[in-house]
């Protein structure tokens, strides 16, 4: 009989944060300044365009926001529908498929000259990338009793600062939580740096690295391991 599913560990969350930063950076460079994971920036840009009366430009940011919400909702529904199942591996597999499609299709559209701002190609690629990041956002929420977000960096920076203060007050377990949150922020930044650097050489093919990482995590998390008490 197979053993229980492997419990998510902080290093899994940090790895996913690196993937999130990588995809966000490459998406930003490919989609003319659109954030595929950092929705705070897109929401601010949406407000600016609406305030300036630029409705057509506002659509550029409405679509990815709606799709991101849909990705989070789909992931949350899937987890709720399978409470006794390790849902992380299949969700990471779907994310890998979405990022792969974004990479291959985006390369073809870019090479063919069909990728322009607010074109059908642009919106199609935006849907793929933001859906992948929305799905990742919902796929992993806790590691070792610590709430985490692998794409919501603002929240992790806030939590990191709060845990530093709690550590200074000698609150129990605060240093461990601070290390986890700090690692997520650092991993996201490293992923963004690597994605941006390799995009200048490989363009969208640089996404092959996070795709391989997602595939490896999906397979690795299916192996037997210790049962986690966290959701």
Say yes or no to pLDDT of 223 above 70: no
Summarize the confidence of residues 203-222 as an average pLDDT: 95
Confidence of residue 227 (pLDDT cuts 50, 70, 90): very low
Region class of 203: left (phi > 0), else alpha (psi between -120 and 50), else beta? left
Task: Pick the closest to residue 176 from 214, 200, 148 (CA basis).
Answer: 148
Locate 99 and state its tokens: 């990022």
* Phi, psi of 146, rounded to the nearest 5 degrees: -115, 125
Question: Residues 188, 20: contact at Cβ < 8 Å?
Answer: yes
Give per-residue pLDDT as tens, 160-209: 999 999 999 999 999 999 999 999 999 999 999 999 999 999 999 999 99
What is the pTM assigned to this prediction?
0.92
Query: What pairs with residue 147 in β-bridges?
Result: 142
Q: Which helix (H) or strand (E) holds 147?
A: strand 146-147
Give per-residue pLDDT as tens, 45-82: 999 999 999 988 999 999 999 999 999 999 999 999 99
Give per-residue pLDDT as tens, 108-136: 999 999 999 999 999 999 999 999 999 99
* Phi, psi of 83, rounded to the nearest 5 degrees: -65, -25
Q: Which helix (H) or strand (E) holds 146?
A: strand 146-147
Indicate the domain borders of the chain. Answer: 10-220
Confidence of residue 7 (pLDDT cuts 50, 70, 90): low
pLDDT at position 3, please? 47
CATH code that applies to domain 10-220: 1.20.1250
Which value, to the nearest 10 degrees, does the dihedral of the CA atoms of residues 185, 186, 187, 192 take?
Answer: 90
Give per-residue pLDDT as tens, 31-52: 999 999 988 889 999 999 999 9
Say yes or no to pLDDT of 228 above 50: no
Give per-residue pLDDT as tens, 82-116: 998 899 999 999 999 999 999 999 999 999 999 99
Query: Percentage of the chain with pLDDT > 90?
Result: 83
């Amino acid at each position: 009989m197979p053993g229980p599913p492997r419990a998510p560990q902080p290093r899994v969350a940090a790895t996913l944060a690196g993937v999130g930063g990588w995809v966000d950076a490459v998406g930003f460079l490919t989609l003319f300044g659109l954030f595929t994971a950092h929705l705070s920036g897109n929401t601010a840009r949406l407000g600016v365009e609406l305030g300036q009366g630029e409705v057509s430009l506002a659509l550029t940011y409405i679509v990815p926001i709606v799709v991101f919400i849909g990705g989070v909702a789909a992931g949350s529904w899937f987890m709720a529908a399978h409470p006794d199942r390790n849902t992380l591996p299949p969700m990471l597999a779907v994310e890998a498929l979405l990022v792969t499609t974004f990479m291959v299709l985006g390369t073809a559209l870019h090479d063919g000259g069909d990728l322009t701002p607010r074109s059908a190609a642009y919106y199609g690629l935006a849907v793929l990338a933001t859906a992948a990041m929305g799905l990742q956002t919902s796929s992993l929420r806790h590691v070792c009793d610590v709430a985490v977000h692998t794409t919501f960096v603002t929240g992790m920076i806030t939590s990191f600062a709060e845990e530093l203060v709690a550590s200074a007050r000698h609150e129990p377990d605060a240093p461990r939580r601070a290390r986890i949150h700090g690692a997520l922020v650092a991993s996201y930044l490293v992923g963004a740096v690597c994605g941006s650097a390799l995009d200048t050489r490989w363009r969208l093919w640089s996404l092959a690295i996070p795709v391989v990482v997602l595939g490896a995590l999906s397979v690795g998390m299916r192996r037997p391991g210790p049962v986690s008490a966290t959701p």
